[in-house]
Structure 1
Amino acid sequence: MQAQVTLSKRERHYQFLYLILMLLTALIFMGIIFLRGFESPFSDNDIISVQLLEEKAKFDQKQKSSFKVLDSTFSMINKITDEGAQPFEENNIMYGINDVAGYYQNGENINDIRKEAYPQIAEFYKMYFNDKKIISSKTENIKNFEKQFEECSIGFKEKKSQLFQRETVLNSRSQ
């Protein structure tokens, strides 16, 4: 026959604490074995934060110098009236648009997402410039058509008066 071993309450508490300590020891030992080769993501956190702040400061500094190009290009486009732009003005506007588009394309390693806005701004400027050119050419066409209409109207009135005079002369001869 087997004798049944019963533990007192105190012995059960010690046994429970012993098992918990063994589990923690095993977890620490397994953690050391499996995580020995991994780098901690928290070790480089401060360095990465400093680098991000430096890049943002570099971007902000370069962005301040880009405001002059952005503003001057937009004001040149905005000044185009119904008469259209002169060829040298169009050339300056296109240079300004190309400068805006290529502002961060010169090989600088700035990883700020805001630099992606510059090609979009250049595309907007190009569309705005093309719209202004279309408006000026259509306005010029309308003015030419109005001028031609006036010339035709004057010619038509002259021809009408000439025909009226001929009819009156023919009518006076036939009577």
Structure 2
Amino acid sequence: MQGQITLSKKERHYQFLYLILMLLAALIFLGIIFLKGFESPFSDEDIISIRNLEEKTKFDQEQKFTYKLMDSTFSQINRLTDQPPQPFTENNIMNGINDVANQLANDNTTDIRKDAFPQIAKFYKMYFDDKKIISSKTENIKSFQKQFEECSIGFKEKKNQLFQRETALKSRTQ
């Protein structure tokens, strides 16, 4: 007969601690082996943050130039009256709108503020088109008023001629 080996309560606690320590040692050992070549995502964090700051300062400098361009383009559009724009002025405005739209189009910055420039250019284009529509409608209204005045004068002359004919016919019949 074989005798069973029984462990005391104290020995069981030591055995449990021994197994836990062996598990932790195995995890550390395997972690070192498998994660040795793994690059930490936190190691480049400083470099990435410095690059982002550089991009933001570069963007801010380019944005200062773009503000001047946007302000001049908007003031040119806003100065338009109900007269049709001169071709030179229209060309300057369209160049300004295109410059605003393409200001940061080829830039590889990750700043989402660069997406605002094409939207601003679309607004300027719509505003300029509205100003041109207003000028063309004002031109049409002026030409219609002129035609109306000419027609009114012609109508009054015809009315006077008819009145003179009627009075001449009445004077002959009497």
**TM-score normalised over the length of structure 2:** 0.91
Task: Name the CA distance, whole Å, in 1 between partners of 2:54 and 2:68.
Answer: 23
2:35 corresponds in structure 1 to 35
Question: How big is the shift at 1:2?
Answer: 5.2
Question: How big is the shift at 1:116?
Answer: 1.8
1:132 corresponds in structure 2 to 131
Question: What are the equivalent positions in structure 2 for 1:51-70 lying under 5 Å apart?
Answer: 51-70=51-70
2:78 corresponds in structure 1 to 78
The root-mean-square deviation of aligned C-alpha atoms, in Å, is 1.6
Structure 1, unaligned runs of 5 or more:
none
**TM-score normalised over the length of structure 1:** 0.91
Task: Name the CA distance, whole Å, in 2 between partners of 1:127 and 1:160.
Answer: 48
Question: How big is the shift at 1:3?
Answer: 3.9
CA distances 1:39-88 after superposition (whole Å, capped 9, x unpaired): 11011011100110111011111111211101000010011111121111
Task: Name the CA distance, whole Å, in 2 between partners of 1:132 and 1:24.
Answer: 76
Task: Name the CA distance, whole Å, in 2 between partners of 1:49 and 1:112.
Answer: 13
Secondary structure at 2:43's aligned position in 1?
coil
1:13 corresponds in structure 2 to 13
Matched, 1:152 2:151: yes
2:23 corresponds in structure 1 to 23
Matched, 1:89 2:118: no
> Alpha carbons of 1:173 and 1:41: their partners in 2 closer, same or farther (altered >3 Å)?
same
Task: Name the CA distance, whole Å, in 1 between partners of 2:148 and 2:6.
Answer: 119
CA distances 1:114-155 after superposition (whole Å, capped 9, x unpaired): 112112211211111111101110111111111111211121
1:102 corresponds in structure 2 to 102
Task: Name the CA distance, whole Å, in 1 between partners of 2:12 and 2:155.
Answer: 121
